[in-house]
Amino acid sequence: MGMTAKAELHYGYHLGDEESGYEIAEVDDDEFGTDLTVPWWEEDGDSFDEQAMAVLRASVGFTETEHSEGFYKRQREADALLDVEIERSGYQGGQFLLVIKGRELGVEAGDVVELDPAKLTAKVDEAADAALADALRTLGITPKQEKPAWLLTCYYG
């Protein structure tokens, strides 16, 4: 199976990553590199998106860490309670995004999707902005991006 170009449009915040630079205020840059300064971050732990999603899941009561029988089912149930998720801007990598679930648009090489600005605006509302603001408070992060926006990503996948 070959790789094909894909593009996705998400509504939310660009959070960056360690390699390209985090796009949040809670970083400490020094001669040894970039360290996140949020209390939940464990440098030797899981990836940023996995740790951030664990914090968000804990906010809806899912705090399991052991992969016992039924773990992934309960994790999916917790995810269903969240209006947001952490996405990556590319296949097997890319920068991190905090986005509203279910509001993304996607296209693969050779496809065409009509973008109607009025319909895009209708897809987001005060509830979407509030869900993103709640997630930012839960994570204890402050994006450099002033407000939520439509974010276009492109990658091979």
Give the residue from 119, 72, 124 showing the smallest Cα distance to 99: 124
The values of phi and psi at residue 42, to 5°, are -120, 110
87 token code pair: 């996405």
pLDDT digits (tens, 9 = 90+) for 54-109: 999 999 999 998 888 999 999 999 999 999 999 988 766 689 999 999 777 788 88
b or e along 46-72 (b: 16 or more beta carbons within 10 Å of the residue's beta carbon)? Answer: eebbebbbbbbbebeebeeeeeeeeee
Give the span between the Cα atoms of 28 and 64, in whole angstroms. Answer: 30
50 token code pair: 């996995």
* Spans of all domains in the chain: 5-156
The pTM score is 0.90
pLDDT digits (tens, 9 = 90+) for 101-115: 977 778 888 888 888
